[in-house]
């Protein structure tokens, strides 16, 4: 599965009242990265809409000046759906500070679900297999 990488610098305007990265901002970056992964596969961003964000798990905070690195990919496709997964890291840490899934839907010009006619190849690694199985459990 192709992985898309992106990064953000945590700035003053990204902080909450505790002086740490606002959960809403990192959630926005998460959804954006997942959307980019879906669009990279489908090639038509105008036909992709977000349906649901699944179980974002915030594990650690980030501070002003931290570099946030996001790795996202499509892990499962349905007739019109695309399930994406992303992990978010700060600086050069090995453990992610956030991870989760998001589901997108391919729609027609009337906003109705439409087949995207894309299938993913079989998982190439154990990690990809596990992510696909986890995505299948998501409703």
**pLDDT tens sequence across 76-107:** 999 999 999 999 999 999 999 999 999 999 99
Tell the CATH topology of 4-137.
Thiol Ester Dehydrase; Chain A (3.10.129)
Mean pLDDT confidence for 114-123: 96
CB contact at 8 A, 136 and 129: no
pLDDT of residue 15: 98
The model's confidence at residue 73, banded by pLDDT at 50, 70 and 90, is very high
Distance CA 137, CA 51 (A): 16
pLDDT of residue 85: 98
**Angle, CA 82 vertex, CA 137 and CA 54 arms, to 5°:** 50
**pLDDT tens sequence across 19-55:** 999 999 999 999 999 999 999 999 999 999 999 999 8
What DSSP string runs through 70-129?
EEEEEEEE-SSEEEEEEEEEETT-SS-SEEEEEEEEEB-TTS-B------PPPPSSHHHH
Q: Tokens 């192709």 map to which residue? A: 2
Mean pLDDT confidence for 46-70: 96
Asked whether the predicted pLDDT for residue 5 surpasses 90, the reply is: yes
The model's confidence at residue 60, banded by pLDDT at 50, 70 and 90, is very high
Q: CA 107 → CA 40, 66, 83, distances in Å? A: 16, 37, 15
């Amino acid at each position: 599965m192709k992985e898309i990488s992106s990064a953000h610098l945590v700035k003053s305007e990204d902080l909450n009242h505790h002086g740490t990265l606002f959960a809403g901002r990192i959630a926005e970056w998460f959804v954006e990265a997942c959307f980019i992964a879906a669009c990279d596969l489908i090639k038509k961003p105008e036909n992709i809409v977000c349906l649901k964000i699944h179980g974002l798990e915030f594990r650690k905070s980030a501070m002003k000046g931290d570099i946030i690195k996001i790795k996202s990919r499509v892990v499962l496709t349905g007739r019109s759906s695309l399930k994406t997964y992303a992990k978010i890291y700060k600086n050069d840490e090995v453990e992610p500070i956030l991870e989760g899934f998001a589901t997108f839907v391919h729609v027609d010009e009337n906003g109705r679900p439409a087949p995207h006619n894309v299938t993913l190849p079989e998982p190439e690694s154990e990690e990809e297999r596990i992510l696909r199985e986890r995505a299948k459990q998501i409703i």
